[in-house]
């Protein structure tokens, strides 16, 4: 089971160029071949909405997001994930390895639901204890 980070959506949309799009498509094909269930989180959807709002063609971007959300489950922040968030953030802060709260929330939701995180930004998730990170790209 794999939670797709925002980077996967951005790359699938071709925002990082053809090579990144191909890498994202390949990781998706591999995960599906292996029988993984693909999900994302409400936090990722919120990040994607930033791009929709900044776009010159908001309708086109909203339609693309709607198409994406039509086939993927979205996990919400529940109490178990909120508790994980608090623990992870405190540990990262104490150790001086703090990353952005959005990434910690995404990692916490993945952990609480037994999912790995699929991302191009593996370093953002690397110090979250117990979290499996499936990275791609350079």
pLDDT band at 137 (very low <50, low <70, confident <90, very high): confident
Torsion region of 12: left, alpha or beta (phi above 0 gives left; psi -120 to 50 gives alpha): alpha
Residue 128: pLDDT over 80: yes
Tens digits of residue pLDDT in 60-105:
999 999 999 999 999 999 999 999 999 999 999 999 999 999 999 9
Per the CB < 8 A criterion, the answer to whether 7 and 1 are in contact is: no
The token duo for 47 is: 């990040």
Q: How many domains does the chain have?
A: 1
pLDDT band at 120 (very low <50, low <70, confident <90, very high): very high
What is the pLDDT, as a whole number, of residue 138? 64
CATH number at residue 120: 3.40.50.1010
Residue 126: pLDDT over 90: yes
Burial of 124 (0-12, 13-18, 19+ CB in 10 A): buried
> Which backbone phi and psi does 90 adopt, to 5 degrees?
-60, -45
Tens digits of residue pLDDT in 12-31:
999 889 999 999 999 999 99
| Averaged pLDDT, 46-66 | 96
Range of the domain at 67: 2-135
């Amino acid at each position: 089971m794999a939670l797709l980070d925002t980077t996967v959506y951005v790359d699938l949309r071709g925002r990082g160029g053809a090579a990144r799009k191909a890498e994202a498509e390949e990781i998706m094909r591999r995960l599906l071949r292996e029988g993984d269930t693909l999900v994302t989180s409400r936090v990722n959807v919120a990040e994607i909405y930033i791009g929709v709002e900044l776009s010159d063609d908001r309708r086109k971007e909203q339609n693309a997001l709607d198409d994406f959300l039509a086939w993927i489950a979205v996990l919400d922040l529940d109490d178990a994930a909120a508790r994980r968030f608090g623990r992870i953030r405190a540990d990262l802060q104490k150790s001086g390895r703090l990353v952005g709260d959005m990434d910690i929330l995404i990692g916490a939701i993945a952990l609480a639901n037994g999912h790995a995180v699929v991302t191009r930004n593996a370093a953002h998730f690397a110090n979250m204890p117990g979290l499996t990170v499936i990275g791609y790209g350079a």
